[in-house]
Amino acid sequence: MSGKLWGGRFQKSAEQWVDEFGASIGFDQQLVTEDLEGSIAHVTMLGETGILSKEEVNTIKDGLEQLKVKAHNNELTFSVANEDIHLNLEKMLIDLVGPVGGKLHTGRSRNDQVATDMHLFLKKRVKEVVELIAKFQETIVEKAEANIDTLAPGYTHLQRAQPISFAHHLMTYFWMLQRDKERFNESVKRIDISPLGAGALAGTTFPIDRELSAKLMGFSNVYQNSMDAVSDRDFIVEFLSNSSLLMAHLSRFAEEIILWSSEEFKFVELDDAFSTGSSIMPQKKNPDMAELIRGKAGRVYGNLMGLLTVLKGIPLAYNKDMQEDKEGMFDTLHTIVGALKIFEGMVRTMTVSKDTLNKAVHQDFSNATELADYLATKGMPFREAHAVTGKLVFLCIQRGIYLLDLSLEDLQEASNLIEADVYDVLAPEAAVKRRHSLGGTGFDQVKIQIANAKEKLTLN
Ligand code: ARG
């Protein structure tokens, strides 16, 4: 006998170091609440269906409730010898209520049990993630609202392209996060399914009621195939994939904040509370939090690749490989929750240097498109207007000035279509204002965009 709950057919025990390699209790203890929740639903169902007597059910339930309190107070001591959270809790239950505790496992297996725990766990956590995303979106909207009139250079290829409202730039991240939120929300319907009662793989001979236990746990659905129920980890892959895309968005935003807070840009200043100093260079104020978030995108992608790779070759149904689904998921959850909280605070407290941004669009050629459009409106073919403007840009570069500094004579020498009204057109404010196509950066469009965003937030 090996002394294990499953030890009947064994003649000797594994050595401790072997147990340690196989154990998941070091990390799956994070499922303690869900495991107890699942067990309470299961034993209730066993009572309702007459598989266990009311008395047995009451005793077991009482024991599970006691374990819940202990878990809540951090009073449970887990052991590697009991391998995982399921066996640890079952052992504790038997120690607490006696051999009747051994009846809890009637009609179920650890395979459907662990899958149930993961579904319960993620369903709850995904909702928390969605709330955090929404909170961050609110902060973005607030920052955007305060910067509708803030002019900023818009970039392509990291070269100044066209002037924009800084709010428009910020709001881009709102929409990325909106899609993230929608993806997480939509994934809930694939998490909200109960695998409990699938047994090891084939179902069970006991007259269980899977729909009842599902309902008791708050699941809307049950898996239709017991083998699928115990071997599906798609919902975890989906969580990791949604998290990866979220991290890609956060990482892009982080990269911009890192650039913007540099001496070269100086568009924003991060609050001291979200910055760090250098141990050697006293002048430094580093955007460590943004850098870390950018870096942490890597580990989340890694977790996604890790699980996809674990799953790709395993035959049906449960295989121990699947125990490898947990650490990456816990780590991802921890990472995205931390990143979202930090990012929200970082953006809420950052100062936008409106003057620097404003100066930037007055000292560049991002109004060149305006001149080309101006000439095209006056009847010149756009291709020609583009060339004329390009020549004027070159002239300015040679003289070390900008388009607005050119005299009317200089401009008219390039094209007699140009009149004095060109100066109004070339003003960056005008360039922004005139872009009032739907979804454009025009101030009025940005206001509409923000109003629509706010409406999305109320719907969540
Ligand atoms: N600790 C295991 C896991 O996380 C639980 C399921 C074990 N099932 C089994 N047949 N060994 O996957």
pLDDT at 282 over 80: no
| Structure tokens given for 31 | 């499922």
Cα 78 to the center of its chain, rounded Å: 31
Report whether residue 108 contacts ligand 1, using a CB cutoff of 6 Å. Answer: no
> How far, in Å, is the centroid of ligand 1 from the Cα of 407?
79
Contact 314, 296 (CB under 8 A): no
H/E element holding 221? strand 221-222
Which of 161, 188, 214 has its CA nearest to residue 432? 161
Dihedral over Cα of 437, 438, 439, 444: its sign: positive
Domain membership of residue 325 (yes or no) is: yes
157 lines ligand 1 (CB under 6 A): no
What pLDDT score does 125 carry?
98
Residue 251 sits in the same domain as residue 331: yes
Amino acid identity, residue 323?
Q
**Strand, coil or helix: what is 268?**
strand
What's the mean pLDDT in 393-402?
96
Whether the ω angle into residue 385 lies within 30 degrees of 0, i.e. cis, is no
Q: Are residues 141 and 264 in the same domain?
A: yes
Q: CA 96 to CA 64: how far, in whole Å?
A: 9
Task: Give all strands (DSSP E) within 66-207, no chain letters.
Answer: 151-156, 159-165, 193-194
Contact in structure between 197 and 210 (CB atoms under 8 Å): yes
User: Would you place residue 74 in the very low, low, confident or very high pLDDT band (cuts 50, 70, 90)?
Assistant: very high
The H or E element spanning position 352 is: strand 351-352
* 388 lies in some domain: yes
Q: Which residue in 53, 262, 278, 334 is the catalytic one?
A: 278
Task: Give the pLDDT score at 33.
Answer: 98
* Side chain identity at residue 424, one-letter code: D
Q: Is 88 in the pocket of ligand 1 (CB under 6 A)?
A: no
- Give the whole-angstrom CA distance, residue 232 versus residue 318: 9
Confidence tier at 274 by pLDDT (50, 70, 90):
confident
Q: How far is the CA of 302 from the centre of ligand 1 (A)?
A: 23
Residue indicated by tokens 């975890």: 236
Regarding whether 189 and 316 lie in a shared domain, the answer is yes
Same domain (yes/no): 235, 303: yes
Specify the ligand 1 atom closest to the Cα of 322.
Answer: 12
Residue type, 88: N
Top-confidence residue, 13 or 137: 137
Q: Which two tokens stand for residue 73?
A: 């107070």
CB 422 within 8 A of CB 374: yes
In the block, which residue shows the tokens 């982080």?
254
Q: What is the CATH number of the domain that holds 367?
A: 1.10.40.30
**Amino acid at the residue 392:** L
- The CB of 114 under 6 Å from ligand 1? The reply is yes
Pocket lining: 231 vs ligand 1, CB cutoff 6 Å: no
Nearest C-alpha to atom 12 of ligand 1 is from which residue? 323
Nearest Cα residue to 133 out of 333, 340, 323: 340
Tell me, what's the pLDDT at 331? 98
Q: Is the pLDDT of residue 269 over 70?
A: yes
Count CB atoms within 10 A of the CB of residue 311. Answer: 19
Q: Does the CB atom of residue 24 touch ligand 1 within 6 A?
A: yes
94 touches ligand 1 (CB under 6 Å): no
Q: How many domains does the chain have?
A: 3
Atom of ligand 1 nearest to the CA of 318: 10
Structure-token pair, residue 229: 């129920």
Q: 156 has which bridge partners?
A: 159
**Is any atom of ligand 1 closer than 6 Å to the C-beta of 42?**
no
| Ramachandran bin of 98, using left for φ above 0, alpha for ψ from -120 to 50, beta for the remaining angles | left
- Label residue 81 by pLDDT band (50, 70, 90): very high
| pLDDT score of 2 | 62
- What is the rounded distance in angstroms from the CA atom of residue 372 to the CA atom of residue 369? 5
Q: Among candidates 64, 59, 62, 68, which has minimal Cα distance to 100?
A: 59
Mean pLDDT of 418-439: 95
Q: Which domain holds residue 80?
A: 15-106
Ligand 1 centroid to 242 CA: how many Å?
Answer: 25
More confident residue, 273 or 380: 380
Element (H, E) at 333: helix 326-349
DSSP helix/strand/coil, 162: strand
Residue 315 has pLDDT above 70, yes or no: yes
Judge if 253 and 189 occupy the same domain: yes
User: What CATH number does residue 102 fall under?
Assistant: 1.10.275.10
pLDDT at position 10 over 70: yes
Phi, psi of 286 (to 5 degrees): -100, 140
**80 and 123 co-located in one domain:** no
Nearest Cα neighbor of 134 from 74, 83, 65, 184 is 184
- 101 and 247 part of one domain: no
**Is 226 annotated as catalytic?**
no
- Residue 215 inside a domain? The answer is no
Please state the pTM of the whole predicted model: 0.94
Active-site residue, 213 included: no
- What per-residue confidence (pLDDT) applies to 11? 83
Tell me, yes or no, whether 278 and 298 share the same domain. Answer: yes
Let me know if residue 274 belongs to a domain: yes
pLDDT over 70 percentage in the chain: 99
Residues in the chain: 460
Residue ending a domain, choose from 353, 374, 389: 353
Cα-to-centroid distance, 370 and ligand 1 (Å): 65
Question: What would the mean pLDDT of 6-32 be, rounded to a whole number?
Answer: 91
What mean pLDDT do residues 413-420 have?
96
- In short, whether 310's Cβ falls inside 6 Å of ligand 1 is no
Does the residue 267 lie in any domain? yes
- CB 82 less than 6 A from any atom of ligand 1: no
Q: Pick from 302, 322, 353: which residue ends a domain?
A: 353
CA of 110 to the centre of ligand 1 (A): 6
Average pLDDT (103-125) is 98
- In this structure, the answer to whether residues 175 and 283 fall within a common structural domain is yes
∠ CA 271-277-281, nearest 5°, is: 135
Q: Do 240 and 341 belong together in one domain?
A: yes
Contact 250, 335 (CB under 8 A): no
Q: Could you say which of 157, 279, 407, 437 is catalytic?
A: 157
Nearest CA to ligand 1 atom 11: 320
Domain endpoint, select from 353, 384, 417: 353
Interval 339-367: pLDDT, tens: 999 999 999 999 999 999 999 999 999 89
Per-residue pLDDT averaged across 143-148, rounded? 98
Count the neighbouring beta carbons within 10 Å of the beta carbon of residue 309.
11
**Overall average pLDDT of the 79-102 stretch:** 98
| CA atoms lying within 13 Å on the CB side of residue 288 | 10
* Residue closest by Cα to atom 4 of ligand 1: 323
Angle at 365 between CA 362 and CA 370, to 5 degrees: 95
**412: Cβ contacts below 8 Å, ≥ 6 apart:** 418
Distance 121 CA to ligand 1 centre (A): 16
Q: What is the average pLDDT across 371-376?
A: 96
Q: Please compute the mean of the pLDDT values over residues 391-404 and round it to a whole number.
A: 96
Is residue 218 one of the residues assigned to a domain? no
Query: Side chain identity at 3, as an amino acid letter?
Result: G
**Pocket lining: 41 vs ligand 1, CB cutoff 6 Å:** no
124 and 259 assigned to the same domain: yes
Element (H, E) at 383: helix 382-399
Q: Is residue 92 part of a domain?
A: yes
- Work out the pLDDT band at 460, boundaries 50, 70, 90: low
Residues 175 and 277 in one domain: yes
Residue 314 in tokens: 């395993």
With a cut of 90, say whether residue 5 has pLDDT above it. Answer: no
Looking at residue 9, its pLDDT comes to 84
Residue 207 lies in a domain: no
pLDDT for 254 equals: 98
326 Cα nearest atom in ligand 1: 4
Q: State the average pLDDT over residues 64-79.
A: 98
Determine the Cα–Cα distance for residues 421 and 423; give it in Å rounded to an integer: 5
Give the CATH number for residue 299.
1.20.200.10
Q: Which atom of ligand 1 is found nearest the CA of 24?
A: 1
